[in-house]
Amino acid sequence: MLDQIISTFETGSGFWNPLVWLTALVIAFLIIYIVRGFGKREYKKGTDQTQAFLSGNPEYEKDKMHVKANNVYWGFTESLKSVYNFFGKMHTGNVSDYVLWFVIIMGILFLIFGVI
Amino acid sequence: MNDILSILINHSPALIVAVPLFGAFLTPLVGMINDKIRNIFVIFITLLTGFFTVILVNEVFTNGIKTYCFGAENPSVNPVVRIFFEIDGMSAFMALIAVILPIVAVIYSWGFAKEETGQSKYYTLILLMTAGILGMVLTGDMFNFFVFLEITSISSAALVAFWTNKKNSVQAAFKYIVISSIGALMVLFAVAIFYGQYNALNMAVIANNIGFGFLDKIALVVLIAALTMKAAIAPMHMWLPDAYSGAPSPVTVVIVGTTLASLYGVFRVVFTIYGKQFLTILRSFGDFAVTPSLLIGVFIVVLAVLTIVIGVFMALKSNDFKRMIGYAAVAEIGYMILAVGSAISTYFIPTGTTTVTMAEHGKMALTGGIFHMINDALDIGLLFLVAGAVYYATKETSLNKLGGLSRKMKYTTVFFLIGLFAVSGLPPMNGFASKLIIYQSTYQVNPILAIVAILCSIMLLAVFVKVFHSAFLGPEISSTKNVKEVPKSMLIAMGILAALIIFFGLFPEFVITNIVEPAKNALLNSSEYISAILGGV
Amino acid sequence: MSGMSKIVKTISSIAFPFVMIYGLYIIAHGHLTPGGGFQGGAIVASGAAMILVSYGSVWTMGKVKEKKLSILESTGAIVFIGTAILGLLFAGVFFNNFLFDSNLIFNIVPVKGSTVGILNSAGTLPIMNFAVGLKVVAGLFAIVLVMAYATTKMGGGKK
Amino acid sequence: MSKRNFAAVIFFTIVAVFLFFTALMMHPFGIFDEDNQPEMDDHIIDNSQTETGANNAVTGVVFDYRGFDTLGEATVLFTAVAGVILVFRRLKK
Amino acid sequence: MMTFNIPYIAVIGLILVGLIAVVFKRNLIKIVIGITLIESGVNLFLITLGYRENSIAPIYTSSPGGLMSLPVPQALTLTSIVIGVAVLALMISFIVHIYRHYNTLDASKIRGDEE
């Protein structure tokens, strides 16, 4: 049973073994721990060290500091505007259109199977 | 003791459906006593269903196909008159999915729905939905499939409209029931064609007699179109983000099961009922022969690519937490049918024999696709539970108004990270294994498919990084100041799914050999399905 | 709805018992003549809906609560599935017609061919007919009652 | 005509043509040939009295041969009632 | 052959009319009516499949004897009708709520926040 559980999973070009992976994970954590040991020990809470430094300007309110979801990936959506316009037009939110897509798919399938 | 167990195993197909139904009929009565007793009762019922499912699945995986006839011990099989349940590997696999999700949903609802009114009806409908999904995946009768399809659609539509004071929920419920009733009626239309032609309703009998004449083609088209619409395959996926985001989160988790059950219907129709006719040569151009397998396979692959791309792109733009997961769910469904479609398109006859087989990479793709079904149920389920937890804590699903939740909801954040890793296919979560198989096998079918799949998987990661950034990271903003961690029952429910995800991710080979392979073999072996009912054919 | 005129109320209360008896007859003879639990239940439920229309939903809601109908419906469903489970317990198969050809009630086996029907036949079928009839009456009436009452309370669509 | 309606008309025509062909290809209305006998139904008509005891074969089918479907149907009605009561419930305690 | 299949053609026509109503009508009530038309069409299709020439109803109680029409389609239609009633009830109650929220029944205006 146990050897069945930890047996290797192969796809032909890659493999996955839980034991190998766990060993890798442990080694990675060890490295992280060692690197963490190099850090400075002078950090103190509640002093000026914890303040954000914005070129000497005062910090904004917390609400304004947070990047809203609307603005994330703005560049991507802006550059692919045409694609998004097309997809947006597809999603009309009208029940009749949903059913119309069904009729269209049915028609295409009928054509495929009927003509050939 | 052994006698009782063998009797239970023998009757488990009936009991799996009867227990949740009986529980559902009793729940309104139990609900009059006390809320707490009712909740315990409902959890008990789902666990009992789970117990029966596990013993049945164990039986099927060890001893092969199990049939159960309703109403007679020695039913006549020539002609087949009564309703049969027929459970092969694929049905058993689906039953496992269908029973995990309600258990989680019911445990989660204890905390989640505590403040709501109408809880008795809510739990009743969840149990009915469970019974419906289980009936859909276990049945071996076309008309019975339609009836259970309707049970799942009606109960899930009523639950989507649970928050009647939200206009999003109500309109989503209306769209959902219109779509599902039209889909179900079209299924009934196809069933009627089968009945008129073969005077049979049993799937095995139909599969045994099936030809590939005009009427069979029509029935195939209608069934595929209707069931893929219920399984939310682009461009008929638009109802899914509506319904998933309108429903309360635990309900959504179970609705994921209904979507997968419809997908199972597609597989059952294509592989089992039409399995015999996969290689009828419809027309040949020189050496190149056009077969139904090629047509269906290519068509499904095209739709799958469309599904993945649309799902991912719309998810990236969306700003509503639940809606975004809904589009991601669409993309995940695309992965499944991408694998299965490319598998179907590699069907061929080896020279010298007449048995239908599939190319090796096709079989691998099928394994990946089936494995991805259970992975998708777990991943999307966990993400929706997280979204529900965020909603419970903040009464907000719009990502624009969230931020800094990781400071207040530590466990939820961890669960979200697990879901994020799983859904975008990063090791060591379960999505990695199935997506790896899918990439590799579709690459052998056509490299472009694998490239699209990988790119979209990366974009899926980007989508959820966006959620992680805007909801969980960042400073504590004013609207999330008084947020508290969610109740224990919700954490337990999320923990169950997260544990399963990690287990499936760490030991994929174990899961594939024990659960996925029997399901794959069952799909590929339609003659066994037929002979289980009709005897040696 | 606040109910209709006195003439309608009187006539519908006179007609209701007849409708009900007709429905019960359809249910009881389901295994002999055209009809059955669903059809008869629908007839009785439409009789009840007639009362609802003539007396108004508020009055009817005062007489019959939807919670009671819900209990009644659950009972019908439990009897139905219970009969099926009894088949499992007594005859070893879910949904078995275990009363048929037994020495309990409904056990007379009819002569093959065209006969005069015997009410005391057909095993579990009459029981299931009654259970389904009860369910359909309660269910359909509950749907109509709840919808009528809710729309009355909500008014004509203004928020 | 808008683009949507144009597409709708075209695809409806296709679907309509194929469905009408379906109607023409079905077996002739009310006639069952030698090789197209309704075996399942004949079995029920012959045996409904001896196997279920019901003089009414339809009731025999509904409650005995396909009793499980009827359980599903009763469940559907139960579901609808639960759904309607759920949808019209009071939202505040 | 053609004349024998007129009932089927009528049934298909009914289904198509229902689908057309769902796709082209904008009023939600009319969409629901379209769905019930499809449903009636499918039910009629089942029933027409069960007809046998010169046959009587499949009931033995004081029957004149002779061929009987097929009982299974009748049972299936009964099931399907009840399911139709259930779906109809639920759809109508959703429409009541939609009207409360939107104050309109125009399908093109009933949409979520993000569409």
Report yes or no: B50 and B58 within 8 Å, Cβ to Cβ.
no
Contact D53 C33 (CB under 8 A): no
Contact D66 B161 (CB under 8 A): no
Contact E49 B192 (CB under 8 A): yes
- Does residue E50 surpass a pLDDT of 50? yes
Report yes or no: B483 and B393 within 8 Å, Cβ to Cβ.
yes
Judged by a CB distance cut-off of 8 A, whether residue C150 touches chain B is no
Contact E71 D44 (CB under 8 A): yes
Contact B72 C93 (CB under 8 A): yes
Residues C56 and C60: their CA atoms lie apart, in Å, by 6
Residues B476 and B473: their CA atoms lie apart, in Å, by 9
Residues D38 and E48: their CA atoms lie apart, in Å, by 14
Give mean pLDDT, residues D44-67.
80
Taking CB atoms and an 8 Å cutoff, what residues of chain B touch C95? 14, 70-71
- Does residue D34 surpass a pLDDT of 90? no
Taking CB atoms and an 8 Å cutoff, what residues of chain D touch E7? 29
The domain containing residue D31 runs over which residues? 3-87
Give the burial class of A37: count Cβ atoms within 10 A of its Cβ; 0-12 exposed, 13-18 middle, 19 or more buried.
exposed
Q: pLDDT tens digits for B226-251?
A: 999 998 888 888 889 888 988 898 99
Residues B117 and B109: their CA atoms lie apart, in Å, by 13
Nearest to E60 among C113, C147, C151 (CB): C113
Contact E63 C38 (CB under 8 A): no
Q: pLDDT tens digits for B186-198?
A: 999 999 999 888 8
Determine, yes or no, domain membership for A116: yes
User: In this structure, which amino acid lies at residue B523?
Assistant: L
Per-residue pLDDT at D13: 92
Per-residue pLDDT at C159: 39
Transcribe B246-265 into DSSP letters. Answer: HS-HHHHHHHHHHHHHHHHH
Taking CB atoms and an 8 Å cutoff, what residues of chain C touch E59? 32-34
User: In this structure, which amino acid lies at residue D72?
Assistant: G
Return the axis-axis angle of helices B488-506 and B430-445, rounded to nearest 10°.
40
Residues A55 and B425: their CA atoms lie apart, in Å, by 40
Nearest to C157 among E59, E89, E100 (CB): E100
Residues B447 and B454: their CA atoms lie apart, in Å, by 11
Chains that touch D (3 or more CB pairs under 8 A): A, B, C, E
Please state, in angstroms and as integers, the Cα–Cα distance from residue E5 to each residue in B197, C84, D75, E1, E49, following that order. 14, 41, 35, 7, 11
Contact E110 B318 (CB under 8 A): no
**Residues facing B86 on adjacent strands:** B67
Per-residue pLDDT at C154: 66
Per-residue pLDDT at A31: 95
Determine, yes or no, domain membership for D92: no
**Structural domains in chain E, sorted by start:** 3-109 (1.10.287.3510)
Report yes or no: B296 and B330 within 8 Å, Cβ to Cβ.
no
Please state, in angstroms and as integers, the Cα–Cα distance from residue C70 to each residue in B160, D73, D84, D86, following that order. 21, 17, 11, 12
In chain A, the residue whose alpha carbon lies closest to the alpha carbon of B467 is: A69
- Does residue C82 surpass a pLDDT of 50? yes
Per-residue pLDDT at D10: 92
Taking CB atoms and an 8 Å cutoff, what residues of chain B touch C92? 73
Nearest to D40 among E7, E52, E72 (CB): E72
Judged by a CB distance cut-off of 8 A, whether residue E65 touches chain C is yes
Determine, yes or no, domain membership for D73: yes
CA of residue B372 relative to chain centroid, distance: 10
Q: Give, as one character, the DSSP assignment of residue C108.
A: B
Please state, in angstroms and as integers, the Cα–Cα distance from residue B200 to each residue in B91, B141, B421, E46, following that order. 21, 9, 47, 13
Judged by a CB distance cut-off of 8 A, whether residue C143 touches chain B is no
Contact D84 C121 (CB under 8 A): no
SS3 B291: coil
Contact B69 C93 (CB under 8 A): yes
Who contacts B3 (Cβ-Cβ below 8 Å, separation ≥6)?
none
Q: Which of B378, B415, B354, B380 is nearest to B501 (CA)?
A: B378
Per-residue pLDDT at B522: 86
Nearest to C84 among D56, D62, D71 (CB): D71
In b/e form, how buried is each residue of E23-45, taking b as 16+ CB within 10 angstroms? bbbbebeebbebbbbbbbbbbbb
Determine, yes or no, domain membership for D71: yes
Taking CB atoms and an 8 Å cutoff, what residues of chain D touch C105? none
Please state, in angstroms and as integers, the Cα–Cα distance from residue A43 to each residue in A33, A48, A53, following that order. 18, 10, 16
Please state, in angstroms and as integers, the Cα–Cα distance from residue B213 to each residue in B194, C126, D25, following that order. 12, 43, 10
Reading the block at residue B304, the tokens are 């799958």
| Angle, CA of B62, B63 and B68, to the nearest 5° | 125
Per-residue pLDDT at C4: 79
Helix ranges (H only) for E4-107 are 6-24, 28-49, 71-102
Taking CB atoms and an 8 Å cutoff, what residues of chain D touch E89? 80, 83-84
**What distance in Å separates residue D24's CA from the closest CA in chain A?**
15
Interface D:E, ≥3 CB–CB pairs < 8 Å: yes
Highest mean pLDDT of the ranges B276-280, B515-519, C27-31, E110-114: B515-519
Give mean pLDDT, residues A77-94.
86
Count of the separate structural domains present in chain A? 1
Chains that touch A (3 or more CB pairs under 8 A): B, D, E
B84-87 and B66-69 beta bridge pairing: antiparallel
- Split at pLDDT 50, 70, 90, the class of A41 is confident
SS3 B325: helix
Report yes or no: E39 and E84 within 8 Å, Cβ to Cβ.
yes
Residues D84 and C64: their CA atoms lie apart, in Å, by 17
Taking CB atoms and an 8 Å cutoff, what residues of chain A touch B313? 80, 83-84, 87
Nearest to C80 among D51, D53, D74 (CB): D74
CA of residue D58 relative to chain centroid, distance: 14
Reading the block at residue C118, the tokens are 């015997």
The ranges of chain B with pLDDT < 70 are 348-356, 536-537
- Does residue D93 surpass a pLDDT of 70? no
Per-residue pLDDT at C158: 43
Per-residue pLDDT at E115: 56
Give the burial class of A87: count Cβ atoms within 10 A of its Cβ; 0-12 exposed, 13-18 middle, 19 or more buried.
middle
Reading the block at residue A64, the tokens are 């304004």
Contact A99 E25 (CB under 8 A): no
**What distance in Å separates residue D9's CA from the closest CA in chain B?**
18
| Residue B424 phi, psi dihedral angles, 5° rounding | -95, 10
Q: ω before B428 within 30° of 0 (cis)? A: yes
Per-residue pLDDT at E114: 62
Determine, yes or no, domain membership for A61: no
Transcribe chain D into DSSP letters. Answer: --HHHHHHHHHHHHHHHHHHHHHHHSPPTT---GGG--HHHHHHHHHHHHHT--SBHHHHIIIIITHHHHHHHHHHHHHHHHHHHHHTS-S--
- Does residue E70 surpass a pLDDT of 60? yes
Please state, in angstroms and as integers, the Cα–Cα distance from residue B333 to each residue in B294, B379, B400, following that order. 21, 12, 27
Nearest to E31 among A92, A95, A100 (CB): A95
- Element holding B86 (H helix, E strand): strand B84-87
A15-16 and B66-69 beta bridge pairing: unpaired
Chains that touch E (3 or more CB pairs under 8 A): A, B, C, D
Contact B512 A66 (CB under 8 A): no
Q: Which of B450, E93, B240 is nearest to C150 (CA)?
A: E93
Judged by a CB distance cut-off of 8 A, whether residue A111 touches chain B is no
Judged by a CB distance cut-off of 8 A, whether residue C98 touches chain D is no
Helix ranges (H only) for A52-94 are 62-65, 74-79, 81-90
The residue length of chain E stands at 115
Count of the separate structural domains present in chain D? 1
Report yes or no: B292 and B274 within 8 Å, Cβ to Cβ.
yes
Reading the block at residue B372, the tokens are 């991805």
Judged by a CB distance cut-off of 8 A, whether residue D18 touches chain A is yes
Per-residue pLDDT at B187: 92
Judged by a CB distance cut-off of 8 A, whether residue C64 touches chain D is no
Give mean pLDDT, residues C78-107.
77
Residues E37 and E91: their CA atoms lie apart, in Å, by 14
Who contacts E32 (Cβ-Cβ below 8 Å, separation ≥6)?
E88, E91, E92, E95
In b/e form, how buried is each residue of B88-120, taking b as 16+ CB within 10 angstroms? bbbbbbbbbbbbbbbbbbbbbbbbbbeeeebbb
**What distance in Å separates residue A86's CA from the closest CA in chain B?**
10
| Angle, CA of D84, D90 and D92, to the nearest 5° | 145
Residues A82 and A92: their CA atoms lie apart, in Å, by 16
Per-residue pLDDT at B475: 79
Taking CB atoms and an 8 Å cutoff, what residues of chain E touch B79? none
Reading the block at residue E15, the tokens are 């289904």
Number of B/C CB contacts below 8 angstroms equals 42
List the beta strands (DSSP E) in chain C.
none
Judged by a CB distance cut-off of 8 A, whether residue E66 touches chain A is no
Taking CB atoms and an 8 Å cutoff, what residues of chain A touch E26? 96
**What distance in Å separates residue E110's CA from the closest CA in chain D?**
18
Taking CB atoms and an 8 Å cutoff, what residues of chain C touch E99? 157
The domain containing residue A76 runs over which residues? 66-116
Report yes or no: B113 and B250 within 8 Å, Cβ to Cβ.
yes
Q: Which of E15, A95, E6 is nearest to D16 (CA)?
A: E15
